[in-house]
Amino acid sequence: MTRNNRAASVADWLGTEGPGYPLVLSSRARLARNLEGVHFPCSAGEEDLERARGMVLEAVSKRVADDRDWDIRFAEELSRDELGMMTEEHLTSRSFADRMGGRAVALSWKDGRSVTVNEEDHVRIQVIMPGAQFMEAWREADKIDSCMEEEVQYSFDQELGYLTSCPSNVGTGLRVSAMLHLPALVSTGEIARTISALGQAGVYVRGLYGEGSGVVGNMFQISNRQTLGRTEEFIVRSMDTVVNQVADNERTARKMMLRESELGLADGVYRSLGIVERARKMGFFEALELISQVKLGIEMDLIPMDDFSILEVGVEVGETHLRERLGNDAEKEDVERERAVHLRRMLAL
């Protein structure tokens, strides 16, 4: 993965429309696994971490990374920028960027498949797909898992299933998540009821990057809480049902907003568009909020503009991606200026 070929392939799935578009932005399936007989990464010594990395990467290169799309990198070899870009593109978690010894990542940039090594668990298999494709994403992750398993022996207990560093992942090790854009539920305040219902259904709700609980740009990530006592298929199907329900709620809220005050709604989205058109500098979170409003305006036929991918634009106006365009010595102010300019460019304004 050199800088150049990377820039050309800003994760394809980010800009692709999937089923459930435009409300369901993406689906993610993640499997957590550990190697038998090796301490979990948080308590493993350097030697153990190296050994685990060697075993996992050998399995990946022998059984999984069979085409040119795959790229295997040690964390300590990745620059701050590359780590930041991967986080912004949701390919690795934020904590991966705190690079600790012995970590590595195998990525297939194009289609959102990745295997991270020695993060919280020895192995984290992740597949992201555009739109609501939970079953497809899980099947793909499961396929990678089964291939890896021909090479390595996973830590597995007859009662508890796959043993993970955190007991919140034990059993299937499967976390399925959806990224949703829910501006109308937030505007109408209906989101409170939705979130409370999701909580009761054993579903987590989090913000854009899956950590912390502040939600930016009306983008919500919801995922299954329980990983034990259910089959993988049950977990995946439940997520599908829940996501459909939430998307339905958003559609209803949008209709309600139109009915109650089309003028108020149009005023709101056009004010956001006005700021995007005129702003001379812009913070990241502010940009995400504005993108969300403009996008809502387009989807509701209030703003006659070409549609765009909210995830892709969100990634493009991220700190590291902008610095990549500006060079490393860019000041904070330069980045904020470039963000305002680049956002107009992305939206063809």
Partner 1 sequence: MNIFCDECKKNIATVFLTKISGTEVSKVQLCEECAKRMEETTEAVNLLAFLPQVLSSLQGVEENLVEDILTGELLTCGSCGTSFNDFQKMGLLGCADCYREFSDALHRVIIEFQESDEHIGKIPGRASEGARLRRRLLDLEKHLQQKIAEEEYEAAAAVRDQIREIEVRLNADVMESDKE
Shortest Å distance, C-beta 166 to partner 1: 5
Could you tell me the smallest distance in angstroms from the CB atom of residue 9 to partner 1?
28
Give 89 or 232: the residue with its C-beta nearer to partner 1: 232
Q: Which of 275, 340, 346 is nearest to 305 (CA)?
A: 346
Burial class (CB in 10 A: 0-12, 13-18, 19+), 39: middle
Could you give the CA distance from residue 115 to residue 28 in angstroms, rounded to a whole number?
13
Neighbours of 285 (CB within 10 A): 12
Q: CA–CA separation, 78 vs 295, rounded Å? A: 34
Shortest Cβ 304–partner 1 spacing (Å): 25
Residue 107 or 185 having the CB closest to partner 1: 185
Which residues, other chains included, contact 296 with Cβ-Cβ below 8 Å and sequence gap of 6+?
183, 184, 254, 269
- How distant, in Å, are the alpha carbons of 148, 170, 261 from that of 124? 11, 13, 47
d(CA 191, CA 43): 40
In the complex with partner 1, the residue whose CB is nearer, 163 or 311, is 163
Interface with partner 1 (CB under 8 A)? 34, 36, 38-40, 42-43, 120, 142, 145-146, 149-150, 153-163, 165-168, 170-172, 174, 186, 191-192, 195-196, 199, 202, 204-207, 211-216, 218, 225-232, 283-286, 289
Residue 37 or 304 having the CB closest to partner 1 = 37
Q: H or E stretch including 176? A: strand 174-181
As measured in angstroms, the least distance from the Cβ of 283 to partner 1 is: 3
Q: Give the separation between CA 88 and CA 78, rounded to whole angstroms.
A: 15
Nearer to partner 1 (CB atom), residue 38 or residue 256: 38
Smaller CB separation from partner 1, 170 or 326:
170
> Cα separation of 243 and 222, whole Å?
8
Q: How many CB atoms lie within 10 A of CB 341?
A: 16
DSSP state of 42: T
Residue 195 CB, nearest approach to partner 1 (Å): 6
Helix (H, G, I), strand (E, B) or coil at 109: helix
Our CB check for partner 1 shows the closer of 130 and 314 to be 314
Minimum CB separation of residue 192 from partner 1 in Å reads: 4
Shortest Cβ distance from residue 307 to partner 1 (Å)?
23
Nearer to partner 1, 71 or 190 (CB): 190
C-beta of 6: minimal distance to partner 1 in Å?
A: 26
End-to-end CA distance of the chain: 32
